[in-house]
Structure 1
Amino acid sequence: MPKRERVVIQGKRERTLKLKKLRVKRRNILILAIAMFIANVAFGMAFPYLSVYMSLLGASMFMVGLLSVAFNLTSTVFQYPFGWLSDSTGNRKAFIAFGAASIGVFYTAIAFVNSATGVLILRTLQGVFGSAMTPAHSALISELSTRAGSIFGLFNSIENAGYMVGNFLGSFVVEYLGIKSVFVIAGFLLFLSAGLVLLIRERPSGKRSILGMILVQEGRESWRATVKGSAFKELMRGHLGLFYVTVFLVMIASGQFYSVSSVYFKETFGEWSVGVIFGVESLAAALTGYFLGRLIDRYGAKRFYLLAIAGYGLAFLLYAFVKNVWLVFGVAFLSGVKWILTINSTSAYVAQNVKVSERAQGMGLLNAMMSLGWVVGPLIGGYLAGISFTLNFLSTLVPLGLAFLLALKLQE
């Protein structure tokens, strides 16, 4: 065959292969988007009513705070190992599906428990197994596009839209079917989401042994030493380490507020308001997520992260003093914007500053820092809310102010 014809045929084959890869990527985006929308409908239904359910079972405000502590403590411990396993096996969808199904199992079980202690135990186990989902989920999204801000903005909008639907649907279910029904329905939706995720077509990668996961030798020249030993140290060094510290501080404030906010909304505005206020927050995040993601791509993650921290302070300050439910809906919209700014800017910052081979670990460490903040924050929030909700909300300005000052030192 003449050389010219071979070149033409090779060019056609390469174009065909590129088109095939593009179709697979688009199909994966669609499947993951649908699955995560459904999963977040479940989260939006169940999460706002966990604290209310605990309160109905006779738990103190401090024990309500422990509900978040238990979940996030186990998430903090297990997210990084699950992120490492996802990187080492090259498998994202299996971990996402396992995590989603596990969360569904424990939500369903919560509906059949009639003691606050039982709910606390199940929520703790939910944090262990559910933590398999988040690092792989973030890593898979980052691998679907080279434009980190845009792709995270797209998925955050889709997921927050699902969460919003879940918030409003949860209010309806609680009103007409009872609070236990919301956990059963959420469990079913999470099983459905897990099944959809398994339809994703991942590119095969070289299989790696997962032996020796715990024992790490620093000087060992192998993929294990690189992934398990130096990766963590590198991620916690320099500006990245400072970044993770600021995330931890912001999430302390978040944990202080949100671990007790459902009870506060119920007591101040009525039980019907809980799902609606959370729904307005989710609506704001869904409407602005993709747009803000594009702006992050254009102007950089740091400045939007600073804006997000300032948004936290303003939102919690307003929540402390606004007592009119219609004005609170406006505060909730602002609060939703600051959340989507936070998740978009922090995810983009990690994606832009961490090597591809360690990205799931970088995302896992980001989520671990968020979870760790939610270990400390609810302890403080549960104690201070027992004294005064207003005192608790105002005290969030301390970790937020420190986080803002430290974040000013981050590199662009």
Structure 2
Amino acid sequence: MPIWKRNLIVCWFGIFVTSVGMSQIAPVLPLYIEHLGVHNTASIVQFSGIAFGITYIISAVFSPIWGHAADKFGRKPMLLRASLGMSVVIGSMGFAQNVYELIGLRLLMGVIAGYSTACTTLIAIQTDKEHAGWALGTLSTANIAGSLLGPMIGGFIAENFGLQKVFFITGALLLLTFITTALFVKESFIREDKKALTFKEVWNTVPEKSLTITMFVTFFVLTVALYSVEPIITVYVTQLASNTSHVALLAGMTFSSSGLASIIAAPRLGKLSDKIGAQKVMLVALVVAGLIFIPQAFVKNPWQLMGLRFVLGLATAGLIPSVNIIIKKITPDALTGRVFGFTMSAGYLGVFGGSVLGGQVAAWFGIKYVFYITSTLLLINTVWVYFKVYKKLSINELALYKK
């Protein structure tokens, strides 16, 4: 088996577990915050948005730093640092005494995170161009599935073992990730002793600046869309459900329906991107994702919401891999770690922006408006992608075909 395929397997497992670790708190967060002494519904929703999003705003700052460190010292050391650090921090969340300690630990987790960025960089560099779409598509299923299946895992653990056990079990899984990474990930890294480039110098060497910026913005908008509903799903499911005795589990299943769809669709859409072009897959997926948010505001029960979010998962499975494929194609190998670091920063900012936006819009205007605003953002981004990405790359491919 080629090294990149073995690393892909280990990285898939590691990204899945770390994504679970960062997202498993979503459905139990309102319940845990209430457990920690906050009882006003509006305050619970607002604290949920802040506690969930603070991890990602700090990760946005540190992701380029860890990306630069990966280019300088190797990707495997970054994988080990992130997995062990997150294991300790997430395990400690089970001992939080109040909501402010919980928010502080979520902030610290944002500093330590970076497993996904290092894995994406490692696989992007090691994989040949013919298999890049499939490899990055497969890898993205771990991130998407972990982020969206994580809430169901968290809800199941919380309902059957207690809220605190969510953090203890996730911490143990991350420790297992650290061990498997240390034993099985292989990297032949040769350090180049060059002067560290400043951000301006790095940016000046990026060949396709306009296209790269468009990818950053698209990744940002996509993560805003995915996570705008994170703080409000549990409350929304409570309103929709006739039986409220299994709210944590129902909310987790609602989150996870998208993750299941993405697991099914992402590798196939990655292969399709290799054949017809990532920009084509991206455009169609954006249209579907933008439109499917609207009916979510009109559902009558949790099962209808799950079905619509499953369709959403099929669409989003074609977006994150497409962004990564295009960035890989337009970025020199020597800058891959840093550019992927900036991409992840845009994503983390989107997660923070989405979770805070969702919490605040729901608190001030009502839950249904979260879906309306999210749909509008995606459809506006679709128009921009059509003119800045789809038309440009399609013209370039046509020119190459004529040659």
TM-score interval (norm. to shorter): 0.7 to 0.9
Structure 2 counterpart SS, 1:259 = coil
Q: Is the 8 A contact 1:148 1:352 kept in 2?
A: no
1:247 corresponds to 2:224: no
Aligned mate of 1:391, from 350, 369, 381: 369
Aligned mate of 1:143, from 110, 125, 129: 125
Q: Greater Rg, structure 1 or structure 2?
A: 1
Q: Is the 8 A contact 1:52 1:263 kept in 2?
A: no
The code of the aligned residue for 1:103 comes to M
Do the aligned partners of residues 197 and 263 (structure 1) sit closer, same or farther apart at CA in structure 2, a change above 3 Å counting? farther
Percent identity reads 23
Per-residue Cα deviation, 1:340-399 (whole angstroms, up to 9, x for no partner): 222111111111111111111121111111111233333332221013000122112332
Per-residue Cα deviation, 1:259-312 (whole angstroms, up to 9, x for no partner): 332332344333320121222221111111211110011111112222232233
Match of 2:383 in 1: 405
Match of 2:98 in 1: 115
1:30 corresponds to 2:9: yes
The code of the aligned residue for 2:379 comes to G
Q: Is the 8 A contact 2:225 2:378 kept in 1?
A: yes
Shift of 1:44: 5.8
Q: Where does 1:288-327 land on structure 2 (aligned, <5 Å)?
A: 288-327=265-304
Match of 1:212 in 2: none
The code of the aligned residue for 2:234 comes to S
Per-residue Cα deviation, 1:46-83 (whole angstroms, up to 9, x for no partner): 44433442354324322221123311210111101110
Aligned mate of 2:86, from 90, 96, 103: 103
Match of 1:211 in 2: none
Flag structure 1 segments of 5+ consecutive residues without an equivalent.
Answer: 1-21, 209-221
Match of 2:358 in 1: 381
Q: Is the 8 A contact 1:246 1:406 kept in 2?
A: no
Match of 2:396 in 1: none
Match of 1:65 in 2: 49
Match of 2:188 in 1: 203
Match of 2:240 in 1: 268
Q: Bigger shift: 248-257 or 35-44? A: 35-44
The code of the aligned residue for 1:402 comes to I
The code of the aligned residue for 2:382 comes to F
Do the aligned partners of residues 98 and 51 (structure 1) sit closer, same or farther apart at CA in structure 2, a change above 3 Å counting? farther
The code of the aligned residue for 2:231 comes to S
Task: Please give the TM-score of this superposition, normalised by the length of structure 1.
Answer: 0.83
1:82 corresponds to 2:66: yes
Match of 1:16 in 2: none
Q: Bigger shift: 337-346 or 165-174? A: 165-174
Distance in 1 between residues matched to 2:289 and 2:149, nearest whole Å = 23
Do the aligned partners of residues 56 and 232 (structure 1) sit closer, same or farther apart at CA in structure 2, a change above 3 Å counting? farther
Do the aligned partners of residues 23 and 298 (structure 1) sit closer, same or farther apart at CA in structure 2, a change above 3 Å counting? closer
Q: Where does 1:214-253 land on structure 2 (aligned, <5 Å)?
A: 223-225=195-197, 228-235=199-206, 237-253=209-225
Do the aligned partners of residues 54 and 312 (structure 1) sit closer, same or farther apart at CA in structure 2, a change above 3 Å counting? farther
Structure 2 counterpart SS, 1:271 = helix
Shift of 1:233: 4.6
Structure 1 counterpart SS, 2:230 = helix
Do the aligned partners of residues 324 and 263 (structure 1) sit closer, same or farther apart at CA in structure 2, a change above 3 Å counting? closer
1:329 corresponds to 2:313: no
RMSD of equivalent CA atoms: 2.4
Match of 1:50 in 2: 29
Distance in 2 between residues matched to 1:395 and 1:159, nearest whole Å = 25
Shift of 1:92: 0.8
Q: Is the 8 A contact 1:319 1:331 kept in 2?
A: yes
Do the aligned partners of residues 223 and 323 (structure 1) sit closer, same or farther apart at CA in structure 2, a change above 3 Å counting? farther
Shift of 1:228: 4.2
Match of 2:400 in 1: none
Corresponding residue pairs, total: 375
Shift of 1:154: 1.9
